[in-house]
Amino acid sequence: MEVVPATRAVQHPFDPPVDRAHGTGGPIRTEDGALSREAPGPAPDNMAKSVGSYIFNAVRGGAVGTSEALPGISGGTVALMVGLYDKLIGGAGHVVSGIKRYVTDVPRGRGKERAQEQFRQVDWSVLVPALIGMALALVLAAVFLAPLVEAHAQYAYALFFGLVLACLWIPYTGAGKKWRAWHYAVALVFAALAFTLTGLPGANLPTHPVVVFFAAAVAICALVLPGLSGSFILLTLGLYEPTMAALRAADLPYITVFVLGMITGLALFVKVLQFLLENHHHITLVVLTGLMAGSLRALWPWQDENRDLLPMTDVPVTVAFAVGGFVVVVGMIIWEQRKHAQQARVETHHHNVTV
């Protein structure tokens, strides 16, 4: 009788994580890449929920992309607000590590195992839809929304001021530890740093490919740091308008150089931030809180393009926009807390039933 060798069930690095309790995720594959009989088939309700979650993650990514088209609005802050920040930073860090290990291991005959292990730690069901939504929203916002914001700058920035002010609560409470006096001192130092940076006068750098490359690398670092706006960095360097014009005109040479700079900056910086979030989470959030607080200077409604203060006109309507932005974020925070509490109750009930 022929003996059939046993095959070990493994998960493909780009397959979503398996949830055996709910019958979602997977599929499970054998080592040769074939589908295993162990693969749980998701129920129709779970499939509908998966499609809904993809759309939801794309919308969340779209919010981040939209913010990056507007000077002064931090994509990192919006990512925190919509609950994407840790997923994006962690996922990007694992992707960078996976690519690095693939490039270094495969030519030396070490195989792909270490690279695949990094890829398996990425929540692709969140990362891919979010990045697609981010890219689409960035282009659409550059074409349609940025001119609208410029036409109604005072009201728009009042709205954003309220949004970011309320968002301070997220990193402030995110570490789950009580702040001490020295934490407030650290936050104050970084708030002063962000306040100073956002008050620098604009420059006019040439649109030489080398300049564009390094400007994009710096701007993407600002994207992953809540409180600092990538588009505001470009505005300070005098490259915001050329970049928006390149997006609107589909200037492929400019866009290609810019994207390469973004990828390089992200690869160099995201691993540092991932390490800090994983190993020094509390103090990292203290620093991010300070950066966000100091960056409010860039969103003050009564200032001109040169950061000079303007007379406070139309105060009631402007304040109403700021309050509206504040209330929106508070509502989102309350909704998120209730959702997590409900999920915790469901998981506790499920655990009690299975036990």
Mark 23-42 as b/e (b = at least 16 C-beta within 10 Å). ebbbbbbeeeeeebeebbeb
Contact predicate 231/239, CB 8 Å: no
Helix (H) or strand (E) holding 28: strand 28-30
pLDDT for 11 equals 41
Specify the pLDDT at position 231: 74
Quick check: 159 and 70 in contact, CB under 8 A?
no
User: What are the angstrom distances between the C-alpha of 278 and each of 95, 125, 175, 314?
Assistant: 16, 21, 11, 45
Quote the pTM value. 0.64
User: Tokens at residue 61, please?
Assistant: 């990514």
Domain ranges of the chain: 46-145+153-348
pLDDT for 322 equals 92
Three-state DSSP class for residue 17: coil
10-residue mean pLDDT profile of the chain (355 residues): values are 44 40 42 41 49 86 82 76 82 84 77 82 88 88 78 85 85 81 93 84 78 87 73 77 84 90 83 81 87 85 80 91 89 76 72 66
Rounded Cα–Cα distance for residues 291 and 21 (Å)? 41
What pLDDT does residue 175 have?
66
Helix (H) / strand (E) element for 45: namely helix 44-68
> Do the beta carbons of residue 61 and residue 84 sit within 8 Å?
yes
Maximum Cα interatomic distance, the chain, rounded to a whole number of Å:
92
